[in-house]
Amino acid sequence: MKAAQLQNFRQAAIQQTDEGGGDDLPNLDEATDGPSFSDTLENAVEGVDEAQDTANEKVSAFVAGEEKNLHEVMISMNQARLQFELMNEVRSRGLQAYQKLMQTQI
């Protein structure tokens, strides 16, 4: 979009708000009440780390003879693998988006 178009949209939104017709515009205070993006990423990474620690503990317990259920060990290993692959894919997509942004010309 061109700067003039963005300015027109902004003016129209301000005019609607002044006329009382802007009730459908999102409230910025309500939109920012949730956890921050960095908190969400941190929690996701911690979840992946915990899943891998759990899988490692179950493998060690199985090798030591303390764990008898091989299927539980395999399930925890697959959960940890899937969570890691998801985190890696999110990282790759974020990096691609960043690279695209850096290539845009102003």
Higher pLDDT, residue 38 or 11: 38
Percent of the chain with pLDDT over 70: 75
Taking residues 17-31, report their average pLDDT: 58
Which parts of 1-106 fold into alpha helices (H)? 3-18, 28-31, 37-63, 70-103
* Dist. CA 103–CA 34, nearest whole Å: 31
For the entire predicted model, the pTM comes to 0.64
Residue with tokens 């908190």: 39
- pLDDT for 74 beyond 80: yes
Higher pLDDT, residue 83 or 38: 83
Taking residues 39-67, report their average pLDDT: 94
Q: Helix 37-63 to helix 70-103 angle, to the nearest 10 degrees?
A: 150
Q: Which residues of 9-48 are buried (b: 16+ CB within 10 A; e: fewer)?
A: eeeeeeeeeeeeeeeeeeeeeeeeeeeeeeeeeeeeeeeb
- pLDDT for 21 beyond 60: no
Taking residues 53-71, report their average pLDDT: 93
- pLDDT for 62 beyond 90: yes
pLDDT of residue 30: 61
Quickly count: other Cβ atoms within 10 Å of residue 69's Cβ: 10
